[in-house]
Structure 1
Amino acid sequence: FGRIVNQRHFDRLINLLDTCSGKIFYGGKIDEKDRYISPTIIFDVSPDDPIMKEEIFGPIFPFITIRTADEAIRFINKRPKPLAIYLFAEDKIVTDRFIQETSSGALCVNDVVLHVSLDTLPFGGVGESGMGAYHGRYSFNTFSHQKAVRGYNGLLEIIGSRRYPPYSRTKLARLLRLLKKRQLPFDDIPYRLILTAIISFIIGLLVAYVLIESSSTSKTSSTSTSTLSCHHS
């Protein structure tokens, strides 16, 4: 571990270490002949250091001290969107804030890299950290083109004939009315409330069906008993 793939990348990492204003807390051992850099932790790094402006791709871990969640969110949002955010927090409110107020390819809570191993989750970046996502169906969607196809319909052409010039004030007014965004009847109702109502309705139908079937069975049984009693007499 710690052997760098080639001389160019080794020199690049050494330059990042040399231009870093922070203090090496752990590691920092270098063997140029073996292209070896030991796992290195650096404290008190400046956000303006070159090591903070590009992906490292090496065993170097720079630390910046941040006091509050607000400060951390501002720090993230001032920079290019990362491939992943690894958030360590016990407060759900803090976790929700990072989910909602930052943008990244992924966000992993109290763990690292685990999301990459789950083929049911999309893996990819945002903006400079990557375009598209892969894993399972997400790979298929990324490398597929959704082609829009519209067929001709004579009736719709007659109805929509007002979209063709020449345009009168009446035509323009009607077109503007059609283009105006309209609010659907259920837009203001929370999704969970609609789902609860649908489930309750289905349960009600099932209960009604069971009661009707039960009542029908009881009547049939009663009729059969009466018939048997008559024959017995």
Structure 2
Amino acid sequence: MAHNYVLVDEEVVRPFVDHLHAAARQFFPDGARASPDLSRIVNLRHFHRIKRMLDNTRGQIVLGGQTDEDDLFIEPTAVLVDAMDDIMVQEEAFGPVFAIYPVHSLDEALNIARRVDPTPLALFACGSTAENERILNEITSGGATLNDSFFHGSVNTVPFGGVGGSGMGAYRGKASFDVWTHTRSVAETPRWMEPLIRVRYMPYKWSELRRLRLLNGGGTPDFDRNGRVVRGFRYWVAFVLRLGAPGVKGALLRWLFLLAAGYVAALRRSL
């Protein structure tokens, strides 16, 4: 889940780079090479792979850039690029290097993200609530974190996985069991049910179609095309009968009702 590239509004690129330098000084007060916390590249093959990206980019290194083959050391490095076909954008680093790509608008950023990889493993959006919501709606990803990085991948009980080109399925916790489990539907029709489902055969009859709809739950969906619950007469009747809606709000309403009923009963006893 290493960041591959960062799309930044061109108006704040310079302050963004300045903050990267400030963070680097805070993380590595004695320099990245002397840090006891910074890992080295796992082997020489991957060192050469990442080094090749830095050697072949047309961008400008604005943070870090130091390497040492003998120590398999690559300093955390940011490269300012001006084209989406740059090797720093097109190839996945899986290492401490990433590209910064200035954009003019959110529309341009979304267009670039879709063209580079329409289904990334991870998506990190840092903006207003409306901007983040639009990014989530328009970019499909395995997971996403808003106004932070990596966080959705750090909770071990939350399913983790890709979608499309980044992988299929999810694992960790119960999801690890579900991804390897096939849910098989088995139906057995008893003889006595045959008259009830005669509607399957021609000639079709309207009365039997209505009966089939009732058996299958009948009626129209309780939500509109945007997924919003339609709160009609049937909804409010069910709401009253269930003492509230399902979920946390309904549970709270039922608890309040029980507490009020208990209070009234206690008050009557005291009188």
Say whether the fold is shared (TM-score over 0.5). yes
Q: CA RMSD in A?
A: 3.8
Q: Cα deviations across residues 60-116 of structure 1 (Å, max 9, x unaligned)?
A: 111111121111122222223111111111x21111111211111112111111112
1:176-215 equivalences in 2 (<5 Å): 184=220, 186-188=222-224, 190-191=228-229, 193=231, 197=236, 198-201=238-241, 202=243
Query: Partner of 1:70 in structure 2?
Result: 107
Please give the TM-score of this superposition, normalised by the length of structure 1. Answer: 0.72
- 90, 95, 100: which is aligned to 1:53? 90
Q: 2:207 matched to 1:134?
A: no
Higher strand share: 2
What CA distance in whole angstroms lies between the structure 2 residues aligned with 1:100 and 1:19? 34
Q: Cα deviations across residues 192-219 of structure 1 (Å, max 9, x unaligned)?
A: 7379834445279969x95xx97xx79x
Q: Which stretch of the first structure deviates more once superposed, 114-123 or 63-72?
A: 114-123
- 129, 140, 146: which is aligned to 2:183? 146
Q: Cα deviations across residues 35-74 of structure 1 (Å, max 9, x unaligned)?
A: 2211111002521123322321111111111121111122
- 122, 143, 153: which is aligned to 1:106? 143
Paired positions, count = 208
Task: Tell me the SS of whatever aligns to 1:191.
Answer: coil
Q: 2:105 matched to 1:83?
A: no
Per-residue deviation, 1:163: 5.0
Change (3 A) 1:186 1:2: closer
Query: Given residue 25 of structure 1, which amino acid in structure 2 is its aligned partner?
Result: V
Please give the TM-score of this superposition, normalised by the length of structure 2. Answer: 0.63
**1:16–1:50 CA contact under 8 A, matched in 2:** yes
Q: Which has the higher contact order (CA 8 A, sep 6+)?
A: 2
Query: Partner of 1:227 in structure 2?
Result: none
What CA distance in whole angstroms lies between the structure 2 residues aligned with 1:13 and 1:38? 11
**1:86–1:112 CA contact under 8 A, matched in 2:** yes
Query: Partner of 1:24 in structure 2?
Result: 61
Query: Given residue 104 of structure 1, which amino acid in structure 2 is its aligned partner?
Result: S
Instruction: Provide the identity percentage.
Output: 34
Change (3 A) 1:133 1:27: same
- 26, 30, 46: which is aligned to 1:9? 46
Change (3 A) 1:50 1:157: farther
**1:2–1:38 CA contact under 8 A, matched in 2:** no
Structure 2, unaligned runs of 5 or more: 1-37, 245-252
**1:20–1:45 CA contact under 8 A, matched in 2:** no
